[in-house]
Copies of this chain bind each other. A is one copy, B any other.
């Protein structure tokens, strides 16, 4: 569909973009005393969506469920999340953020929004970018 060398350049750009964002996040994670894997799970729990079973979180993170179990325990110990039984299936545990957890998550989101190199673009440019990325991702109507 397109020239592969150009695609390679774009891939590189996306990689460095992600890299810079992560570099920024590292600082905040230190101040919050959060380790990367734990923060990763925290980020994965979407407060707006239905509570997610641990199994599902493990799939999305490409790791063993037992690993999620450990991280979930750490989040609970920090008071950032809670395990809740699934309303219909007694086997399933879901992970839900506490108020404190949502605040931390919002703080991370805030930081990413303000510190991302993408924030340097004008609104018009951002809209263009959004459209291009939506097309690439196959989500022409994108939800946040």
Please report A residues at the B interface, Cβ cutoff 8 Å. 1-18, 20-21, 23, 26, 62, 109, 112-114, 116-123, 125-130, 132-138, 142, 144
Contact = CB atoms under 8 A, between A and B. Distances in A.
A135 B121 contact: yes
29 contacts: A1-B119, A2-B126, A3-B123, A3-B126, A4-B114, A4-B119, A6-B130, A7-B114, A7-B116, A7-B119, A7-B126, A8-B109, A8-B113, A9-B130, A9-B144, A10-B133, A11-B21, A11-B113, A13-B130, A14-B133, A16-B137, A23-B62, A120-B135, A121-B132, A125-B132, A125-B135, A129-B129, A129-B133, A132-B132
A4 B111 CA distance: 11
